[in-house]
Amino acid sequence: MLGRVRRALADVPRDERPQDQPVARDYRRTHGDRTHAERVGLLAENLADYRADVHRCGPAELPALIARLLAERGARSVVVPAGLPPEWLAEADVERLPDAAENTARDLDAVDSVVTGCAVAIAETGTIVLDAGPDQGRRRITLVPDHHICVVRARDHVVDSVVQGLERLDPAHPLTWISGPSATSDIELDRVEGVHGPRTLEVIIVEDAAEG
């Protein structure tokens, strides 16, 4: 395979950089025209198809909903990114572990849940993308705890396609692409959840009353 790569690159000047050659980007950007409500609905449908638990609420209902989901889970502790809006957890009766560099995998494994925001939510693929922003924290805090609550602000975060999502993301940031709970079928084709991330993903889509 490497030999084929070398042969394919044989006529490329050594000082040529990828950005020196224009790339045609006239491909389809989305698969259909959607209203905002249709876009959000498609996201919710595809998230559920990936076995994420999807909830929808208004901004004022968010703290109570997060508190209820944590209580139903039996969560007594939660990892909190530094920039998570404090009002999100205002009604939750849980111990809060700040996202800190000194937290080990063992520390995080002892925590029941993590609550984050997101960078982008892609409707066509049911994918949530985290970019280590202030309300998301370090990548590892969403990979070790077994329960992840991710808040998606519909107006700010939801796009139709991967193409539109990539336009909003900085490739220099650590990007985590999440399509449902962690799972694999590599072992005898049996689905096993929680192998390299949380077994339970709960996505809260927050919509203003005027959105539609």
Q: How many CA atoms lie within 13 A of 138 on its CB side?
A: 14
Over residues 106-121, the mean pLDDT reads: 97
Nearest one of 212, 164, 125, 156 to 30, comparing CA atoms: 164
Residues 124-162 have pLDDT tens digits of 999 999 999 999 999 999 999 999 999 999 999 999 999
In the structure, what pLDDT confidence band is assigned to residue 103 with cuts at 50, 70 and 90?
very high
User: d(Cα 53, Cα 102) in Å, to the nearest integer?
Assistant: 31
Lowest model confidence (mean pLDDT) among 48-57, 165-174, 191-200: 191-200
Residue ranges of domains in the chain, CATH in brackets: 34-206 (3.40.50.10420)
Sign of CA dihedral 164, 168, 51, 72: negative
User: d(Cα 123, Cα 12) in Å, to the nearest integer?
Assistant: 39
In the structure, what pLDDT confidence band is assigned to residue 183 with cuts at 50, 70 and 90?
low
- Verdict on whether the full-model pTM lies above 0.85: no
Residues 161-172 have pLDDT tens digits of 999 999 999 999
Contact 204/55 with Cβ under 8 angstroms? yes
